[in-house]
Amino acid sequence: MSVVERQQWDVVVIGAGGAGLRAAIEARENGARTAVICKSLFGKAHTVMAEGGIAAAMGNVNSGDNWQVHFRDTMRGGKFLNQWRMAELHAKEAPDRVWELETWGALFDRTKDGRISQRNFGGHEYPRLAHVGDRTGLELIRTLQQKVVALQQEDHAESGDHEANLKVFQECTVTRVLTGDDGRVRGVFCYERESGRFFVIEAPSVVLATGGIGKSFKVTSNSWEYTGDGHALALLAGAPLLNMEFVQFHPTGMVWPPSVKGILVTESVRGDGGVLRNSDGKRFMFDYVPDVFKEKYAESEDEGDRWYDDPDHNRRPPELLPRDEVARAINAEVKAGRGSPHGGVFLDVSTRMPADVIRRRLPSMYHQFKELADVDITAEAMEVGPTCHYVMGGVAVDSDSAAARGVPGLFAAGEVAGGMHGSNRLGGNSLSDLLVFGRRAGLHAARYAAESPADDRPTVTDEQIDTASAEALRPFSAEAETRSEEPGTAPENPYTLHQELQQTMNDLVGIIRREGEMEEALRKLADLRVRARRAGVEGHRQFNPGWHLALDLRNMLLVSECIARAALERTESRGGHTREDRPGMDRSWRRVNLLCRLRESGAGVAAADPARGQIRLERDTPEPIRPDLLALFEKEELVKYLSEEELFD
């Protein structure tokens, strides 16, 4: 039996990005003793990379903006597959969450009359993104971190212990959310990355705030943390994942040099006036405005250019279409042989703004290109192409409480949660999502924990700890096990497996999908799963990145199978899911949510035959959109999205 330290808290938040910190603050403020666990250093979560801004209908730059317009834009962007109640709450509550950040010390860029400035972004009808240059995520995390420290100082003043009610366990990874026989959450199993030591935190409420899945793809804007851990933890605990086929490929990642391929070029470049051109110098986006958006976008370059100064009397340029549309257009131009020398297209601000304005409004982009590609964006165009950026699919949650479906005590917020963005997220809507639903998850997790008295809580069993320890230690015994079970077979290198996985997902389940390729991907994933059982590492448990990766592979393989299976099942193209063999949106699919569930549950997963698929799909019908929200749209527009039954109900 393993001897593993146990601690008891009310709420455990897994993740210290925007969603996790906002959840932790709310849980602590509602009286819950709260532990935060994160893989990286405190303050280094992926959210710090966010550049462009936080979408919130404050109406500071254009007073025409309000929550109804934001709600409409979000639903259109998601092609009406959004969990509409989430989109409603998000649009209504985002302004309060931004103002609240300001009261906690955030310093946003200002308008001339001193209000929080807001910038244009794709798919948003009005300038809506509150920002701090192109480093908004950094300011968001800095502010939330400062708030955490302020709460810890309050606790110190009262109890003499900074960590009495809110403690951060940094550089620790959770490998299992543990549940009891009744399916309720009991706690989490974790390891310290530096020492390799295991520990258990017992708590009735766990909030998943682990971010995304991008590291399953070769070309991605995402950081090393994005191995889909929270998605996998939810599945393994018994919660379904929703609509995993929807993965956002951001249209503008760097394409050159190869070592930085995929790094993001923020949408603010286009929001502030940057234009896309092909190798003939043509602003090609005018050729790619889909019918559903035709009335809302400029038909000529002149009109598009006039919109920047006079948005009330002109339509916006098509460079500001939602991301899925722009990414597909770039892909098509490159495929047609009109790409840039390194396989992208040109994104130009140099001919659109004076150099000093570019340096002031886009300081990170200026430095990024200068240092990484030796390109001066004030004098020449950037080369850009699509990069895997965001997952719209995620843990199926209750819209109001962020409670994960089917696992009492489990909550999810931020990128790991599904539903809010439908089939495609609008830029800026993630940072606001983190704040709105991070707060809600923290609140409801605290309330749920309060229902269970601290001195009478079911605990994690020794057997559960032994099973979780054995699973985590398996890569160290892979060599011996492989030699005894399959003589003549060598253990597998986790880095090789990871590279093959990334290539498979990039090539076969990427931006443009085809039935045969997705079937091939599922075969390759089965083979990788078999080989991943033999993933072996050398050395010891003290900071051993090979071991960490071997453990992360379980999560990436689960998530990748979800994406491939759901993408094969959805026989239409919508938002972040484009099928060459099924072009066009099929209105009957609006009534279908695809849920991914684990075939075997709990410890059975480790024992199950890896060659068999681990995921099964279920179809689920979304709740009909509330009539007062439908009334915000013209009937002619709804006809483009809703199924016949919905229109005539």
Write out the catalytic residue numbers: 250, 270
**Among 65, 88, 229, 572, which residue interacts with ligand FAD (rule: CB under 6 A)?**
229
**Among 74, 120, 210, 578, which residue interacts with ligand FAD (rule: CB under 6 A)?**
210
Nearer to ligand FAD, 396 or 642 (CB): 396
| Peptide bond just before 257 cis, omega within 30 deg | yes
Q: How far is the CB of 303 from ligand FAD (least distance, A)?
A: 27
Q: How far is the CB of 552 from ligand FAD (least distance, A)?
A: 8
> Rounded to an integer, what distance in angstroms lies between the CA atom of residue 89 and that of residue 101?
18
Contact by Cβ (8 Å): 346, 337: no
258-262 contact pairs (CB < 8 A, 24+): 260/372, 260/373, 261/219, 261/387, 262/218, 262/219, 262/220, 262/221, 262/387, 262/388
When asked if residue 51 is in the footprint of ligand FAD (CB under 6 A), the reply is yes
When asked if residue 269 is in the footprint of ligand FAD (CB under 6 A), the reply is no
When asked if residue 101 is in the footprint of ligand FAD (CB under 6 A), the reply is no
**Among 11, 13, 35, 37, which residue interacts with ligand FAD (rule: CB under 6 A)?**
37
Contact by Cβ (8 Å): 237, 367: no
> Rounded to an integer, what distance in angstroms lies between the CA atom of residue 277 and that of residue 329?
11
Q: How far is the CB of 227 from ligand FAD (least distance, A)?
A: 7
When asked if residue 387 is in the footprint of ligand FAD (CB under 6 A), the reply is no
Q: How far is the CB of 63 from ligand FAD (least distance, A)?
A: 23
> Rounded to an integer, what distance in angstroms lies between the CA atom of residue 21 and that of residue 442?
9
> Rounded to an integer, what distance in angstroms lies between the CA atom of residue 220 and that of residue 506?
9
CA dihedral 569, 416, 37, 95 (to 10 degrees): 180
CA dihedral 311, 315, 318, 322 (to 10 degrees): 70
| Only segment of 224-232, 349-357, 570-578, 630-638 that touches ligand FAD (CB under 6 A) | 224-232
CA 408 to the chain's CA centroid:
23
When asked if residue 77 is in the footprint of ligand FAD (CB under 6 A), the reply is no
- Strands (E) in 211-298, as ranges, are 241-242, 247-254, 275-277
When asked if residue 225 is in the footprint of ligand FAD (CB under 6 A), the reply is yes
The Cα-based distances of 389 to 252, 264, 366 in angstroms read 10, 8, 21
When asked if residue 222 is in the footprint of ligand FAD (CB under 6 A), the reply is yes
Nearer to ligand FAD, 37 or 512 (CB): 37
Q: Residue 280 contacts by C-beta under 8 Å, 6 or more apart in sequence?
A: 338
Where do we find the tokens 């249209």?
Answer: 251
Question: Of 117-136, which residues contact ligand FAD (CB under 6 A)?
Answer: 136
Dihedral-angle region of residue 178 (phi above 0 means left; psi in -120 to 50 means alpha; beta otherwise): beta
Give the contact letters, 150-169, x = binds to ligand FAD (CB under 6 A), - = no.
Answer: --------------------
Q: Give me the phi and psi of 527, to 5 degrees please.
A: -65, -45
Give the contact letters, 332-371, x = binds to ligand FAD (CB under 6 A), - = no.
Answer: ----------------------------------------
3-state secondary structure of 62: coil
Of 429, 644, 612, whose CA–CA distance to 525 is shortest?
612
When asked if residue 38 is in the footprint of ligand FAD (CB under 6 A), the reply is yes
> Rounded to an integer, what distance in angstroms lies between the CA atom of residue 489 and that of residue 482?
6
Nearer to ligand FAD, 252 or 573 (CB): 252
Nearer to ligand FAD, 123 or 491 (CB): 123
Using Cβ positions, the residue closest to ligand FAD within the complex turns out to be: 17
Q: How far is the CB of 364 from ligand FAD (least distance, A)?
A: 10
Of 322, 262, 217, 265, whose CA–CA distance to 575 is shortest?
322
Nearer to ligand FAD, 242 or 585 (CB): 242
When asked if residue 271 is in the footprint of ligand FAD (CB under 6 A), the reply is no
Residues touching ligand FAD: how many (CB under 6 A)? 43
Where do we find the tokens 């317009």?
Answer: 69
Give the contact letters, 388-417, x = binds to ligand FAD (CB under 6 A), - = no.
Answer: -xx-----------------------xxx-
Q: How far is the CB of 416 from ligand FAD (least distance, A)?
A: 6
Question: Of 413-472, which residues contact ligand FAD (CB under 6 A)?
Answer: 414-416, 427-431, 434
Crossing angle, helix 494-508 and helix 515-532, to 10 degrees? 170
> Rounded to an integer, what distance in angstroms lies between the CA atom of residue 539 and that of residue 285?
53
Of 521, 527, 452, whose CA–CA distance to 492 is shortest?
527
The CB density around residue 287, as the number of other CB atoms within 10 Å, is 12
Of 434, 428, 322, whose CA–CA distance to 55 is shortest?
428
Nearer to ligand FAD, 46 or 533 (CB): 46
**Among 11, 13, 17, 75, which residue interacts with ligand FAD (rule: CB under 6 A)?**
17
When asked if residue 139 is in the footprint of ligand FAD (CB under 6 A), the reply is no
Q: How far is the CB of 532 from ligand FAD (least distance, A)?
A: 17
Of 168, 146, 125, 224, whose CA–CA distance to 34 is shortest?
168
Q: Give me the phi and psi of 60, to 5 degrees please.
A: -75, -35
When asked if residue 196 is in the footprint of ligand FAD (CB under 6 A), the reply is no
**Among 33, 39, 316, 548, which residue interacts with ligand FAD (rule: CB under 6 A)?**
39
Contact by Cβ (8 Å): 620, 597: no
Q: How far is the CB of 335 from ligand FAD (least distance, A)?
A: 25
Nearer to ligand FAD, 14 or 32 (CB): 14
Q: How far is the CB of 490 from ligand FAD (least distance, A)?
A: 28
Q: How far is the CB of 369 from ligand FAD (least distance, A)?
A: 14
Q: Which residues bind ligand FAD (CB under 6 A)?
A: 14-20, 37-40, 45-47, 49-53, 136-137, 173-174, 209-211, 221-222, 225, 229-230, 264, 389-390, 414-416, 427-431, 434
